[in-house]
Structure 1
Amino acid sequence: MTCQIPEPSRHATVAPVETSRYHGDSLAQMTTIGVGGPVAAVVNASSEAEIIDAVSTADAEGRPLLVVGGGSNILASDKPFDGVVVHDTRCEIETLMEDGCGGAEMRLSAGTPWDEAVVYAIEHGWMGVEALSGIPGSVGAAPVQNIGAYGQEVAETLAQVRTWDRRTNQIRTLFLSDLEFGYRDSILKRSIGEFGASPRWVVLSVTFHMRRATLSRPIGYSQLARTLGIELGERAPAADVRAAVLELRAAKGMLLNDADRDTYSLGSFFTNPVLSEEQAAQLPAQAPRFGVAKHDAVNQIGAAAPRIEGQVKTSAAWLIDHAGFSAGYNMPGPAALSTKHCLALTNRGGASGEDIADLARTIRDGVEEKFGVRLAPEPVLVGLEI
C-alpha cells in the first residue's frame, strides 16, 4: 500500500519500504511471520465510521475482536479464530500546522503504514522519527507498543491519539499524559487481555508534533553513529539517518523481503529486560547496560527523555546469544532464529504458531536458567500462551 504525499518533496530521502504482507483472509496471510488459522469474519474498513461500526457490533454480540494493521506484531494459533478481524485499510496523512517557529503537526489514519509517516516527515523537513525508519506495521500500532529503535521512541513526538473507547462506546482523544508510556508499553497495551486481543481503546488516528530542523537529534546509538561515519552525540541529516537505519535493518533481516526467510518474523520477539540496579549487578560485566527513558517528563518535542533512576535496561539479544542460542538456532526446523539476528524468531516455511511459541519458550527458559532474567515476548498472542 502506498500513500499519496500531498506536497512535493523538499528533501532527498529513501522511498517508503514495504511493511506488510497482508494478502488474504487467514491470520497466516495477514501477518508478517505467516502463521495463524482461518478467520470467521473479516471487515476491511475504509472509513472511521466502518471501523467503529465493526468494533461496536462485535463487542455487542460478544464476539472476539482483533484489529489488524500491518500484522507485524501478532503471533496466532493455527486454530480457527471464531471472531471478527477488522483490517484498517485507510492511508491518510494530513499536515495540521506548520509555523515559522519550527513546529509542525501531522495527523495520520491508524491504517497508514508506519514507514509512510517517516518518509512524509523527512520530506517536509521535520525531525524526530527518522531513526524509526523501516519498522513494519501501521501507525495505529505505534502508540500501543511505543515503538522504538536506534535511540528514538514514538512517545518523543506523539501529541495525541483519537480512539474508540470500547468500554464507554464513545470516541475519546488520549493525550500524551493519558497514554502512560513506558519502554514498549502504554495504557493501550496494558488493556489487552481484559478486552481480548485488541486494546480497550481502538486507535483511529494519531497526531504527531514535529520540529523543523535540517539535522537529526544527537545520535545516541553507537552502531548508528558508526554507520553514519560520525561521532556519538553528533547530528546528521534526517535523510542520511533514514538511509543508515534501513541499511542496518536490512543487514539484520528486519526489512520485509519475500525471498528471504529471515524476514518472515515479528521483528524483535522479546523486549529488552528492565532490571533493578541490584539485578543488573548480577549479570556478567560485559552484558550491555542502558538507561530507561522516563516519558512522562518529556516536554520538548524531539528531545531525548530523561532516565529513570534505579532502573537498568539490558540487551535481550546479548542474553539470548550468551545463553547458547546463536543466530540460526534450531535450523533446519520450520521455526528457527534468524540467521542474521538472534532476537528474531522466523518461519522457515511451514511453521505453525505453536512451533514459534515452542521455540520462544525454549529460549525464554534457557535465558532464565543461565542469567536469572525472564524475557517477555513483545507480540500480541492470539490463541497461544508462552
Structure 2
Amino acid sequence: MREIEPVRLAELTTLRTGAAPERMFEATTTAGLVDALRETWARGDEWFVLGGGSNLFVGDEPFEGTVIRVRTEGIDELPSPHQGRIRLRAQAGHGWDDLVAYAVAHGYAGLEAMSGIPGTVGAAPVQNIGAYGQEIQETLVEVELIDESTGEISTVAAAELGLGFRTSVLKHHHGSVPLRRAVILSVTVDLLIAGERVVRGEQLRRALGLTDETPVPLGWVRERILATRASKGMLLDADDPDTHGVGSFFQNAIVTAAVARALPTECPRWPVAPDLDAVTVIPLASYDGMVPTSKPAAVSDVKVSAAWLIEQAGIRKGFKLPRSRASVSTKHALALTNRGGATAGEVAELARFIQSRVHAEFGLVLQPEPVLVGVDL
C-alpha cells in the first residue's frame, strides 16, 4: 500500500462529483489492501473503499476520513466440482467487464448478459449486480473478505451474503449501515464451459430479439448487449455526457402482485421468483404428527420498470431543472447525468424532484441505486 496525495473524488467517480478526502491510500496488492484497511480501522477513521467509482454519489463537502483505492488485479482458473464447469477467482480491483470479456473469450457462460456494467469485481456482490434478468448471485460461489470488527480474513459462501435485488449484507443503504462491515478481497464464480448457449430468460431474449431456442454464441450475446447499453448511454465514454453518471440511478421497483395490478397495464413488469424452498413452520399447538404434503401456490412479487414510471410521471429524456447542470440522460430516463460541472447538490435536487413526481403519480417511492456518501435524498 502507499498513502497518496488525496485526489478530488470528482476525478475518480463516473458521476464526477465530490471533493478530495482528508486521506487516501492506493492498494495494488491484496496484502497492501489489507494493511491499508487495518491501519485505517486502527486509527478509527471514517472510511470507504473506491474501485471504479461507477456506483458512488459523493457530496460536495470534503469527506472527513480515509478513501482506499482498490487497484488489485488478476484472474485465476480453478477446477469446479461440477462436470462441464470451471471456476474463476478474480481480485477485487479487477474491472468487472474485463472479467466478463475473459469469460466470453474462453467460452465460459454465465456472465455475458452483464457485459458493459462498469465498476470492479469486488463491488459486484455488494450490489448483487445484474442486467437483462441475469445476476451475479446465479454464478457466485464465494468471496474472500476482511471484517472491520476483527480485522480477520475469511472465505464466505455466497449463501451467507444475504443477496437480494441489488443488495447484500455488505451494502451501505442510504440512511443505514451495512449488516456486515467488511471489504471483499476476491470473488469466485462457477461458470458453464460452453461457447454457445440457449437463452431462456424473458428479459434477455427480448433484449436480443430472439424468438426461438436455437443456441447462440456467447460472443454474439456480448456484442448485442454492449450495443444495447451504448444506445442507452450505459457504456462509459469520456466524450458522451450521457455516460457521466452511475448508470441506472434508481432501482426498478419491487412490489406485491396487488400493487402491480393497480398500475397501468402498459407498465413493463417481470415476476420475481418466489422462494420455492421456504421452510414450512407448523405451530406446536396444532401439530398432529403429520406434515402437509402440499403448499399453497406462492404468489410472486413483481418488478416494475422505474424508467417507465419516470417517463409517465412527465419526466422526459433530457429533462433538467432550470439553471441546473444535471439532467436526465437524453438516451435513458433512468440515468441522471452530469452535463459538465454539476454539483452533487444539483444532482440530488433533480433526483428528489423525480422521486416526488413518481410518488405523486403512482404512490411509489423510487430508491437510489448508487451508494450515497455525504448526500441526502
Q: TM-score, normalised by structure 2?
A: 0.88
SS at structure 2 position matched to 1:291? strand
State yes or no: 1:326 paired with 2:316.
yes
Amino acid at match of 1:253: G
What stretches of structure 1 move > 6 A for 4+ residues in a row?
none
CA distance in 1, matches of 2:69, 2:334: 28
Structure 1 residues 71 and 232 mapped into 2: Cα distance closer, same or farther (>3 Å)? farther
State yes or no: 1:274 paired with 2:254.
yes
State yes or no: 1:218 paired with 2:199.
yes
Tell me if the contact between 2:9 and 2:16 (Cα under 8 Å) persists in the aligned partners. yes
- Deviation track 1:34-58 (CA, whole Å, cap 9, x = no partner) reads 1111111111101112212211222
Amino acid at match of 1:47: T
Tell me if the contact between 2:9 and 2:20 (Cα under 8 Å) persists in the aligned partners. yes
The equivalent position to 2:304 in structure 1, one of 301, 314, 332, is: 314
The equivalent position to 2:27 in structure 1, one of 37, 41, 45, is: 45
Tell me if the contact between 1:165 and 1:200 (Cα under 8 Å) persists in the aligned partners. yes
| Bigger Rg, which one | 2
Structure 1 residues 139 and 232 mapped into 2: Cα distance closer, same or farther (>3 Å)? farther
Matched residue, 1:206:
187
Matched residue, 1:6:
none
Cα shift at 1:168: 2.0
Query: Which stretch of the first structure deviates more once superposed, 55-64 or 97-106?
Result: 97-106
State yes or no: 1:357 paired with 2:357.
no
Tell me if the contact between 2:271 and 2:300 (Cα under 8 Å) persists in the aligned partners. no
Tell me if the contact between 2:132 and 2:207 (Cα under 8 Å) persists in the aligned partners. no
> What pairs up with 1:1-386 in 2 under 5 angstroms?
25-97=7-79, 101-189=83-171, 200-222=181-203, 224-225=204-205, 228-231=208-211, 234-293=214-273, 309-330=299-320, 333-386=324-377
Structure 1 residues 99 and 174 mapped into 2: Cα distance closer, same or farther (>3 Å)? closer
Cα shift at 1:310: 3.4
Query: Which stretch of the first structure deviates more once superposed, 119-128 or 224-233?
Result: 224-233
Cα shift at 1:25: 1.4
- Deviation track 1:105-149 (CA, whole Å, cap 9, x = no partner) reads 010000000011101111111100000000000000100000000
Cα shift at 1:233: 5.2
SS at structure 2 position matched to 1:57? helix
Matched pairs, number? 353
Tell me if the contact between 1:161 and 1:175 (Cα under 8 Å) persists in the aligned partners. yes
Structure 1 residues 191 and 150 mapped into 2: Cα distance closer, same or farther (>3 Å)? closer
CA distance in 1, matches of 2:199, 2:81: 23
CA distance in 1, matches of 2:99, 2:169: 23
CA distance in 2, matches of 1:159, 1:209: 6
CA distance in 1, matches of 2:187, 2:135: 15
